[in-house]
Chain A
């Protein structure tokens, strides 16, 4: 074995390395799954906010006011509190309240209203003239949502998704406080409670690296698909 591997092995035991690798896997699993389910809920939610809004396709003050209020309330609950509040729901869906699988539930519930807002503001950016042109051609609202709103705002939607992934990853690390699994959990249990700074630092560096990689991928995709410039 060469020097570098020995150094790592001396610094972290094989068991600890294995644990951290599992942590990376769990963190990615939680983040991506919660983002996915977050979009399953948040995308239609955001579309509803946009279309019932003042300048939307079917303005409806009452519906908008209610949905807007719910969004604001849910956005105001700090993630850690949400984690505790939704424990009964988590138990009902997953059957337990700890571990990475269980953390996906509160992560999704916290991410959805954030995603709804991101989607709403992305769709609000779409040129009203283009929507008007689509209406003039006889498009139904459903057709406009699919073929105009979502398509025209895709760069903004991708940017929003990138921010969401980063935020959800941060939340997932926070869930470590209550045994949520993943790198955050490891950093808190080993780094904080057992005072093993090496594990703390490796976890933190890995978390930073994951955020940077995901951000990089998001930016790359945005750039590739952006047709607004020459």
Chain B
């Protein structure tokens, strides 16, 4: 039956389809390739993270999703519409279906909170009474019903972002784009905003695309993720998969570098030639016995360089960086043992450790 449906519709489409997108900027210094042949799909209801260092091109990429930036090459299809083929008017109507929030909140500072939320409703010429009612409901959802008549400058950063979220949701969009939406906020406020986004995703099924440079943001709410480096997607997949088994150097830097702990032990260990591995396990309790059993079995100590418990897409995950036995044969057996016990094991090269310790240091600051 599914096949029959596919035949009628031609083919089953993802909500957002990005195909062969490139973007070149003409600057005084010459051509700059901000995006190179980008391909990815976002399924309806997903929370899709696009992560990369600053300058990787991720902000340009998210702007291609609503054509605030027109790709030089390639196509972006949103909800079955090829954005490049739309007239200006149709593009504006389609943009009404895609909400967007920003790092700098971008509220109208000379307008009251309620008028900010009313902006998209007035734009769509919704009858006054209905619009007002809807704006109030939205402020209720983001927890700012009592601030309707305040001005943005009277609110904290977190509150301003909540207003921006209410505004972005006012036109009942299918998609919400978040461009570094929590980067200007403190950790606690970031946490609250992410929870709010997650709640809205669960309640309304809205598809969310999150641009961020922070792995912890991706880990906490994204289901899928694409890693962007120098204008290219170097790795994509489910967050769990990439967290457990990062393949590209960029992914490793992001995944290994997210420790809250100081990099001390790793810095000391990175220069000797013992084998080091990172293990990932799904529950907190299992790993303690695994390590203890392994030490007992091989009668050989292992050195724990770093251990963390992290929330990955709603599931608690443990990660541990181990320095194995100095005897290469025993070390090899230890790796086998860990794999047999069902743990994801990735061997760490010297450069991985440098990345981990450098990023760890950065995060510790």
Binding site for B on A (CB under 8 A): 127, 129-130, 132-140, 143, 147-148, 151-152, 154-155, 225, 227-230
B68 touching A132 by the CB < 8 A rule?
A: yes
Task: Give the chain B neighbours of A138 by CB distance below 8 A.
Answer: 92-96, 120, 123, 171
Q: Does B258 contact A (CB under 8 A)?
A: no
> How far in angstroms is the closest Cβ of chain B from A89?
38
Partner of B100, one of A133, A152, A155, A225: A133
**What is the CA–CA distance of A117 and B9 in the complex, to the nearest angstrom?**
55
**What is the CA–CA distance of A136 and B102 in the complex, to the nearest angstrom?**
11
> How far in angstroms is the closest Cβ of chain B from A118?
18
Binding site for A on B (CB under 8 A): 66, 68, 92-96, 98-100, 102, 104, 106-111, 119-120, 122-123, 151-154, 164, 167-168, 171, 177
Interface of A is mostly: helix
Task: Give the chain A neighbours of B104 by CB distance below 8 A.
Answer: 127, 129
> How far in angstroms is the closest Cβ of chain A from B87?
12
**What is the CA–CA distance of A227 and B115 in the complex, to the nearest angstrom?**
13
Partner of B108, one of A136, A148, A229: A148
> How far in angstroms is the closest Cβ of chain A from B93?
6
**What is the CA–CA distance of A154 and B111 in the complex, to the nearest angstrom?**
11
Task: Give the chain B neighbours of A134 by CB distance below 8 A.
Answer: 119
Task: Give the chain B neighbours of A130 by CB distance below 8 A.
Answer: 106-109
Total CB contacts across the A-B interface at under 8 A: 74
A133 touching B102 by the CB < 8 A rule?
A: yes
Task: Give the chain B neighbours of A137 by CB distance below 8 A.
Answer: 95-96, 99-100, 119-120, 123, 167-168, 171
Task: Give the chain A neighbours of B109 by CB distance below 8 A.
Answer: 127, 130, 152, 227-228
Known A-B contacts: A137-B120, A227-B152, A227-B153. Give 19 more (CB < 8 A). Answer: A127-B104, A129-B102, A133-B106, A135-B68, A136-B98, A136-B99, A136-B177, A138-B92, A139-B92, A148-B108, A151-B110, A152-B108, A152-B110, A227-B109, A227-B110, A227-B151, A228-B110, A229-B153, A230-B153
Nearest A residue to B120 by beta-carbon distance?
Answer: A137
> How far in angstroms is the closest Cβ of chain A from B206?
15
B111 touching A151 by the CB < 8 A rule?
A: yes
A129 touching B95 by the CB < 8 A rule?
A: no
Task: Give the chain A neighbours of B153 by CB distance below 8 A.
Answer: 227-230
Task: Give the chain B neighbours of A229 by CB distance below 8 A.
Answer: 153
Task: Give the chain A neighbours of B98 by CB distance below 8 A.
Answer: 136
A136 touching B95 by the CB < 8 A rule?
A: yes
A154 touching B110 by the CB < 8 A rule?
A: yes
Whether A147 touches B119, Cβ cut-off 8 Å, given contacts A130-B108, A137-B96, A138-B92, is yes
> How far in angstroms is the closest Cβ of chain A from B23?
16
**What is the CA–CA distance of A129 and B107 in the complex, to the nearest angstrom?**
9
What are 10 A-B pairs with beta-carbon distances under 8 A?
A130-B108, A130-B109, A132-B102, A133-B106, A137-B95, A137-B171, A138-B96, A154-B110, A227-B110, A230-B154
A136 touching B92 by the CB < 8 A rule?
A: no
**What is the CA–CA distance of A81 and B10 in the complex, to the nearest angstrom?**
73
> How far in angstroms is the closest Cβ of chain B from A122?
12
**What is the CA–CA distance of A12 and B53 in the complex, to the nearest angstrom?**
78
Task: Give the chain A neighbours of B106 by CB distance below 8 A.
Answer: 127, 129-130, 132-133
